[in-house]
Amino acid sequence: MTTQLSVDLGARSYPIVVGTGLLSDVGRFAPFIAGRQVCIVTNETIAPLYLDTLKKTLAQYQVDECVLPDGEQHKTLETYARVMDHLMNNKHNRSTTLIALGGGVVGDITGFAAATYQRGVALIQVPTTLLALVDSSVGGKTAVNHPHGKNMIGAFYQPRLVLADLDTLRSLPEREYLAGIAEIVKYDVIRDAEFFGWLEANVTALQARDAAALDHAVITSCAIKAAVVAGDEREEGARAILNFGHTFGHAIETLTRYEYLHGESVAIGMVMAADLSVRIGMLGRADGRRIKALIAAFGLPVVPPGNVTADAMRASMGMDKKVIDGRLRLVLTSSIGEAVVTDRFDTTAFDATLTAHGKLCED
């Protein structure tokens, strides 16, 4: 079964197509390819698995590929420059279409390249990881990292199409698959208490990659993301709730030099955000424990690594993009299903969360 959702942004609206066997269906791609030229940007891990299939599907076009190294540590201006060099060396013009075939790193770099090459060319996102499928491929955030912080250099640039072939998840290593589950948990906490309850009841099914459970989780998550993005494309207000757990999580990623996957860092960050919400009296302790317990049930980490100090976390979070006029904004939660963006939180409670580690969301 194939499901189509829409990100409603007026003239920049685009579909999210979720199903199986989609990589082999040229009809899914053709309406969104701008001209005759196509550049598939992928990485060394994904290329052997799916690149030939996609090239055969697009055989009627002038297709070439740019294969990047794999890993968050390569999400840099240097790698972005490799994509730019490739496009220029292969004489891609303004009617070219870039296709991001891979996870969040490939999608972010390709999106930033599409946003800036000749002032903007067509972009199609083809996510091959669960995290990219439910999060980074939708919404138009593109970026590369800087040594001082994650995603500090980038642009808002919407794709023409997000095409999510669930068959690609079969090859996903267990650790990366579970990291994607973290973003699904996020949607429950910020927007949908009923979905949170469904997740609690379906941990085993999702761990086993049950097709029906996975389809429901993906479609529900994408629908939530699409609705939030449609209401606030450039994160000037309500869209910031999608960053629940991310400010803490980005600091962990940066400080560990990306030893922790993005979803793993966000999992810890969500528990820390819930802990702070409890400490300031915004969230009931029982709900804080439920959030921590659900994340732990999926085998995701729930405390920061022991070598990440409170002072280092505080300094790293001070470089976050959500700092405005010198004040750090955090996404907290008032109940499961409700998120709050605020720069008004007790600094003593904040410091307690940074130092709590194993006692997060506990008495």
Task: Note if 92 is an active site residue.
Answer: no
In the set 191, 250, 290, 329, the catalytic residue is 250
Residue 3 CA to residue 202 CA, distance in Å, equals: 21
Write down the H helix ranges in 192-261: 193-201, 203-207, 211-231, 246-255
Beta bridge partners of 7: 14
Can you read off the two tokens belonging to residue 211? Answer: 């097709």
In the set 191, 225, 292, 321, the catalytic residue is 225
In the set 246, 290, 321, 322, the catalytic residue is 246
Residue 243 CA to residue 221 CA, distance in Å, equals: 14
In the set 65, 72, 183, 253, the catalytic residue is 183
Task: Note if 146 is an active site residue.
Answer: no
Task: Note if 250 is an active site residue.
Answer: yes
DSSP 289: H
Task: Note if 292 is an active site residue.
Answer: no
Task: Note if 243 is an active site residue.
Answer: yes
Task: Note if 235 is an active site residue.
Answer: yes
Task: Note if 119 is an active site residue.
Answer: yes
Determine which helix (DSSP H) or strand (DSSP E) holds 165, and give its type and residue range. Answer: strand 161-165
Can you read off the two tokens belonging to residue 41? Answer: 């940007």
Which residues, including other chains, have CB under 8 Å from residue 24's CB and lie 6 or more apart?
Answer: 53, 56, 57
Task: Note if 344 is an active site residue.
Answer: no
∠ CA 333-223-139 to the nearest 5 degrees?
85
∠ CA 64-67-70 to the nearest 5 degrees?
160
In the set 28, 141, 160, 279, the catalytic residue is 141
In the set 43, 145, 151, 243, the catalytic residue is 243
∠ CA 275-316-322 to the nearest 5 degrees?
75
In the set 239, 279, 292, 321, the catalytic residue is 239
Task: Note if 225 is an active site residue.
Answer: yes
In the set 119, 236, 307, 344, the catalytic residue is 119
Task: Note if 75 is an active site residue.
Answer: no
In the set 235, 279, 292, 329, the catalytic residue is 235
**Whole-angstrom distance between the N-terminal and C-terminal Cα of the chain?**
46
In the set 74, 160, 191, 262, the catalytic residue is 262
Q: Which residues are catalytic?
A: 119, 141, 183, 225, 235, 239, 243, 246, 250, 262
